[in-house]
Chains A and B, each alone.
Chain A
């Protein structure tokens, strides 16, 4: 299992600094900051398979909010942007997100129709419309490793993308030769493209009625 220490060490190596975390007493915290920044960017950019979790939760029938927390082995789900799909149990079609201009009082009944952000209860960042909807829904959501990352934390994202991105950010601050900055920038961008292709390489069911919620396949 890769830990953040490994990523920082690789950045130190890529930057041709004297190796070792302890040796680079001052570069290490800066690199760690860059790694955190790139980590957040990449975390939001892809639906990382290792971070995705399926939850089956019951609706409360009053507010449209689930009755249990969305808590996985890595983290709880606290942000609506981390919700990829919400299906009524047994349905192949995920619920669509209500537009901001929708008037929720216009929706009645007990059948789930739409979802909307809700932060009234921690770890339950969405509500189903209509508010009186009942039954279970299945949620596919992205867990977020605790941020900022520390050196001993596990890395669930791509190590190479993190290292190239952090090295690029570091060299940009360095005002080192432009070619070195371009080199790391290109490496970072190429790695992201590769990741997009890899994550997209499994066969996808073209079920006609499947709708995206608030994101594309690979980009939020």
Chain B
């Protein structure tokens, strides 16, 4: 008996229905350790200038905006470090000069007796705020203080740090590192005493051992407590009720404020040396709530407190990017690491940003930034690589913006630039103020749609994006990523992010060409390919914001025969 016509029609239809697969979780971040053939799409194989945002999207990092140039008195020496203090950016230049810049960008020289108090060329300077006073240390000269209490007669002027009773700094150590812990200012890095910490008199910043009584300041050599590696102190940071003293191959947590004997002597106690979680640059030490971040030559370490027991537990935070980090660090000398590797914490976005210089011919050509978005309560720990920068230092303002220094210029992170995304914007020396476009690159791992052996046929691509920038979406198939060193994407289309205007909108007007392929368009973009493995890549150069929210591919499954 003849089959009904409808049956004959359906016989021509495919056995497999169209399926869709959506990727919208990006909280894994950059991962160059695991094989990309066995990696979920929450991780990225390449992630340059894109970060996992608090809203769950993957966003092109903000740009930076010119703020001020401290070179106003013929002093073109580079800024070597800076800090935000009392509504001012305090900067130390390589010739020892110190400036303060207010919120309007007005810069003032900070002189002592009409001259720079530090007259020698320096490569390092560190800060510690104690009881609302800023202390500045360089390991060579006597330290300085900028009082921050408005009732102080020397409010926001530069002074030498002295014992307030004797007004002498003869006993003040020429330390390189300083940190405030509890009611003490702790100093280390004194050239002749590399393993010694100097702890001030309680509640006093300038009173050290040898100064007149009352004085419970101490000088404590902790070198013998270091079980491996050099006992030279590499950094100090306060971590809750502890002082973390770091060495090249470990950390020694100290508890201050413990007094023994009669008369009572300040006797700090330690919690035991934590081996193989060392710190090679004081400038990378950042303490945030339950985390204390720092780096060694391999990657970034974090000290965490175990709940209930208050025990400190070290972890390697950078395990997914260690090869990239290590490769950059291995090219640096110890001095370069101490001087140039630095970090800052972005509280607005919960990110630890660590900068590693790339040096060519003795000149820093770039500082590669590794950005670590860490929100333990949301199980988010995502790394990204931020490129195109050359910052000598970075610091955070009271309003939680980030300032950067390059040469003698200060810039700030453009968190709130809603329709712009360019570096060094408004700097007259950079493209007449137009700034530099930001190049970004996001490469996902290979995907098999959970059917490794089956051939898949993709039909359509759907993107949820925000912003107004343009980007190119590429697709590689079946392990072919490059050939003879050249990229060989199987498919490649240029899109514009979802908030961009098209026909009838500025700047396109009523021209018939609109504004490109709008990735928020709900009609279909054909994306035809046949593969067993595929990977996507999004890249481009933009001066406009772009956020990737989700990627969807419509596909059908086939047989096992490619």
- Chain A residues positioned under 8 Å from B16 (CB to CB): 175
Cα separation A177 to B16 with both chains bound (whole Å)? 11
User: Nearest Cβ in chain A — how far from B458, in angstroms?
Assistant: 10
Pick the contact of A25: B17, B18, B493, B524 (CB < 8 A).
B493
A30 at the B interface (CB under 8 A): yes
B523 at the A interface (CB under 8 A): yes
A185 at the B interface (CB under 8 A): yes
Within 8 A of B (CB), among A1-30: 15-19, 23-27, 30
Cα separation A26 to B528 with both chains bound (whole Å)? 7
- Chain B residues positioned under 8 Å from A23 (CB to CB): 517, 525
- Chain A residues positioned under 8 Å from B13 (CB to CB): 172, 175, 178, 181
Pick the contact of A174: B10, B459, B517, B525 (CB < 8 A).
B459
Cα separation A26 to B12 with both chains bound (whole Å)? 24
Cα separation A17 to B517 with both chains bound (whole Å)? 12
Pick the contact of A185: B9, B17, B518, B525 (CB < 8 A).
B9
Q: A23-B517, A182-B9 are in contact. Are A172 and B525 (CB under 8 A)?
A: no
Tell which of B17, B523, B556 has the most Cβ of chain A within 10 Å: B523
Cα separation A18 to B503 with both chains bound (whole Å)? 14
Cα separation A179 to B517 with both chains bound (whole Å)? 29
Cα separation A175 to B525 with both chains bound (whole Å)? 16
- Chain A residues positioned under 8 Å from B14 (CB to CB): 172-173, 175
User: Nearest Cβ in chain A — how far from B503, in angstroms?
Assistant: 11
Cα separation A173 to B459 with both chains bound (whole Å)? 9
A176 at the B interface (CB under 8 A): yes
Contact across chains for A15 and B491 when beta carbons are under 8 A apart: no
Contact across chains for A30 and B528 when beta carbons are under 8 A apart: yes
Contact across chains for A26 and B526 when beta carbons are under 8 A apart: yes
> Smallest CB-CB separation from A186: which chain B residue?
B9
Cα separation A27 to B526 with both chains bound (whole Å)? 5
User: Nearest Cβ in chain A — how far from B133, in angstroms?
Assistant: 62
Within 8 A of A (CB), among B2-59: 9-10, 12-14, 16-18
Q: A26-B491, A26-B528, A174-B459 are in contact. Are A17 and B523 (CB under 8 A)?
A: yes
User: Nearest Cβ in chain A — how far from B512, in angstroms?
Assistant: 10
Within 8 A of A (CB), among B491-526: 491, 493, 517-518, 521, 523-526
Cα separation A17 to B459 with both chains bound (whole Å)? 11
Q: A23-B517, A26-B493, A175-B556 are in contact. Are A18 and B17 (CB under 8 A)?
A: no
Contact across chains for A178 and B10 when beta carbons are under 8 A apart: yes
- Chain B residues positioned under 8 Å from A18 (CB to CB): 517-518, 521, 523-525
> Smallest CB-CB separation from A31: which chain B residue?
B526
Cα separation A161 to B509 with both chains bound (whole Å)? 36
User: Nearest Cβ in chain A — how far from B474, in angstroms?
Assistant: 12
B527 at the A interface (CB under 8 A): yes
Q: A181-B13, A182-B9 are in contact. Are A175 and B526 (CB under 8 A)?
A: no
User: Nearest Cβ in chain A — how far from B522, in angstroms?
Assistant: 9
User: Nearest Cβ in chain B — how far from A56, in angstroms?
Assistant: 45
Within 8 A of B (CB), among A23-49: 23-27, 30
Within 8 A of B (CB), among A156-194: 172-178, 181-182, 185
Cα separation A16 to B554 with both chains bound (whole Å)? 14
- Chain A residues positioned under 8 Å from B491 (CB to CB): 26
- Chain A residues positioned under 8 Å from B556 (CB to CB): 174-175
- Chain B residues positioned under 8 Å from A17 (CB to CB): 523-526
User: Nearest Cβ in chain B — how far from A153, in angstroms?
Assistant: 22
> Smallest CB-CB separation from A26: which chain B residue?
B526
User: Nearest Cβ in chain A — how far from B496, in angstroms?
Assistant: 11
> Smallest CB-CB separation from B554: which chain A residue?
A174
Contact across chains for A16 and B523 when beta carbons are under 8 A apart: yes
User: Nearest Cβ in chain A — how far from B500, in angstroms?
Assistant: 14
CB-defined A-B contacts under 8 Å, sample of 29 = A16-B523, A17-B523, A17-B524, A18-B517, A18-B523, A18-B525, A23-B517, A23-B525, A24-B526, A25-B493, A26-B493, A26-B527, A27-B528, A30-B526, A30-B528, A172-B12, A172-B14, A174-B18, A174-B556, A175-B13, A175-B14, A175-B17, A175-B459, A175-B556, A176-B18, A177-B18, A178-B10, A181-B9, A185-B9
Residues on A facing B (Cβ under 8 Å): 15-19, 23-27, 30, 172-178, 181-182, 185
Q: Sorted from nearest, which 5 A-B pairs have the closest CB atoms?
A: A27-B526, A175-B14, A175-B556, A17-B524, A175-B18
Residues on B facing A (Cβ under 8 Å): 9-10, 12-14, 16-18, 459, 491, 493, 517-518, 521, 523-528, 556
Known: A172-B12, A172-B14. 6 other contacts (CB 8 A): A18-B524, A23-B525, A172-B13, A174-B18, A175-B17, A185-B9
